[in-house]
Structure 1
Amino acid sequence: MKKGFLIALGLAGVCLLTGCGGGGGGDSSAATYGVTDTGRLVKFKLGSPGHIDRNVVISGLEGGESILAIDFRASNGLLYGLGSTSRLYAIDPATGEAAAVGGVMSPLISGQYFGIDFNEVTDELRLVSDTEQNLRIDPDTGAVINVETPVSPVESLVACAYTPASGGLTTLYGIDAFSNKLVRIGGLNGTPSPDLGEVTEVGSLGHNAVADTELDIHAEVGAVFCTNS
């Protein structure tokens, strides 16, 4: 298993993509799910990543396919994964069984590193990549709702996360692995919309990010960063 890997944190029935390489407080006993570089789904407590409570093979993928990013959907509590063949999957956290949601996306995903996160307001999945791809995906069909304006200016956007919805509003943030900075995609509370691709620097991460970096934001857990190394 890698030192760092994609993980999803479950807390009070709402599970979100987060990370394990840096810090930001939170409930150390929260159930956490990880995808290793060997295609296994593991479960552990946030404060005890060295103690694995569950370790299962992710099955049901296409031959040679891997999971590139994961996130839990707040509206139904299901875990979703982005496949390397441009497919969206619903993954059973207990068994690792993956079921394709629809077919191959159009356009195909583009890049090597990806971030996905559910917008609690619209219940849509946002996808960004290190090639400036900016998509909205329907989690019920797996189809691309719209190809949005490429994210810019940014060198290598590899992760994204929405703030918890408040008053029907949410803000999208991301990580630029090239500059090691936290950025905002769109404006505060979604005005202007992240669909327009405008990126604004927020500040330094305080540590060196790598391409396999993930980000999550939660009202109770806070923000947690993960770097794969």
Structure 2
Amino acid sequence: MSTLPSDQDQGIGTLTSTAPLMEESVAEEASSSLLFGIQQADLLALGTFNRLIFINAEAGRIVGFRRVQVPGVLLGIDFRPANGQLYGITNERILYTIDPLTGQTLSSQALSVPFDGGTLSGFDFNPVADRLRLTGANDQNFRVNVDTGDVIVDGTLNYVDDQAGTNPFITASAYTNSLAGATSTQLFNIDFRLDQLVLQNPPNDGGLVSIGSLGFNFGVIGGFDILTEGTINRGFLISGSDLYRVNLSTGAATLVANLRGGPFLSLSFMPEPVSVSTADLEPLP
């Protein structure tokens, strides 16, 4: 596995409550930001009601949203480095490829083994193996071929450091070096019960090593992703409606913005920033 760059935590980077999404708040935020034309978005969050929330991470604001037309409830989303497509999984245990601008699904694939993590789960692509990692607060640890739906059930999540014997509650996961052609990567998770960043090493064994406290009470559900720019990996968290940077060396989180309209269930940086306008998104109420 690679060693993280020493300056990984010096800039904005990426990023996987059950109350209903506050649609009026999201609409108000999106309406004000879209009012005067095309806006840039580089971060996608999954809200309740199967809404994809377009975010400008640097500005710390919502740009707009699009509802995904899919049966069931989406639990997690991530862009696949190998092809740049967006994937999502529902509570019906079906994987979908999704066009984020239209909300339409392009293909679907059932998992060969049921995943029961629900909203308390991590969803992220390993850029080296080109396999989807599913982790759950129920300690499930899956490796998935998204082209076939075939699942390899890996080692149960468990602490192998001084937290050994403590039951983990993993609710979000993200890999470093999230680029096509990556030759090394590391898998980080968020334990919402301990409010800390952990390293899963090796990922297939499920062994967890504590990195450090986030410094705040992470919600039961939330999102986490890691943005890779060259050799730099930068972490982002979303909990409730709050967007944070996270230092991957220490676990310490820094508040970036309150986006309102949460809670959000998952987080994924786009392969490239996109320009969106009111014409790209569903009409705002």
Alignment TM-score, normalising by the size of structure 2: 0.62
Contact 2:96–2:106 at 8 Å: present in 1 too? yes
1:109 aligns with 2:115: yes
2:15 to 12, 15, 18: 18
**4+ runs deviating over 3 angstroms:** 47-51
Q: How does 1:112-151 map to 2 (within 5 A)?
A: 112=118, 113-144=120-151, 146-151=152-157
Deviations 1:116-170 (A, max 9, x none): 11111111100001100000011212231x1011100342111111111697221
2:274 paired residue number:
none
5+ residue gaps, structure 2? 1-12, 17-39, 160-166, 241-262, 264-285
| Root-mean-square deviation over aligned CA pairs | 2.3
Residues 42 and 130 of structure 1: is their aligned pair in 2 closer, same or farther, counting only changes over 3 Å? same
5+ residue gaps, structure 1? 1-15, 20-28, 187-192
Q: How does 1:192-207 map to 2 (within 5 A)?
A: 193-207=202-216
Contact 1:116–1:127 at 8 Å: present in 2 too? yes
State the distance in 2 between where 1:210 and 1:41 align. Answer: 19
1:180 paired residue number:
195
Higher Cα radius of gyration = 2
Paired amino acid for 1:222: R
Q: CA deviation at 1:212?
A: 1.1
Count of matched residue positions in the alignment of Structure 1 and Structure 2: 194
State the distance in 1 between where 2:54 and 2:173 align. Answer: 22
Contact 1:131–1:156 at 8 Å: present in 2 too? yes
- Per mean C-alpha deviation after superposition, the further-off stretch among 214-223 and 87-96 is 214-223
2:176 paired residue number:
163
Q: CA deviation at 1:71?
A: 0.4
1:226 to 234, 238, 243: 238
- Per mean C-alpha deviation after superposition, the further-off stretch among 215-224 and 134-143 is 215-224
Paired amino acid for 2:150: A
Residues 98 and 203 of structure 1: is their aligned pair in 2 closer, same or farther, counting only changes over 3 Å? same
State the distance in 2 between where 1:170 and 1:35 align. Answer: 24
- Per mean C-alpha deviation after superposition, the further-off stretch among 156-165 and 86-95 is 156-165
State the distance in 1 between where 2:168 and 2:138 align. Answer: 8
2:219 paired residue number:
210
Contact 1:101–1:140 at 8 Å: present in 2 too? no
Contact 2:76–2:89 at 8 Å: present in 1 too? yes
Paired amino acid for 1:152: N
Q: CA deviation at 1:213?
A: 2.3
State the distance in 2 between where 1:137 and 1:197 align. Answer: 15
Q: Greater RCO between the two (CA within 8 Å, min separation 6)?
A: 2
State the distance in 2 between where 1:218 and 1:121 align. Answer: 15
Residues 30 and 109 of structure 1: is their aligned pair in 2 closer, same or farther, counting only changes over 3 Å? same
- What SS does the aligned partner of 2:158 have? coil
State the distance in 2 between where 1:215 and 1:125 align. Answer: 15
State the distance in 2 between where 1:162 and 1:204 align. Answer: 19
State the distance in 2 between where 1:79 and 1:56 align. Answer: 14
Contact 2:175–2:187 at 8 Å: present in 1 too? yes
Alignment TM-score, normalising by the size of structure 1: 0.77
Residues 167 and 95 of structure 1: is their aligned pair in 2 closer, same or farther, counting only changes over 3 Å? closer
1:73 paired residue number:
80
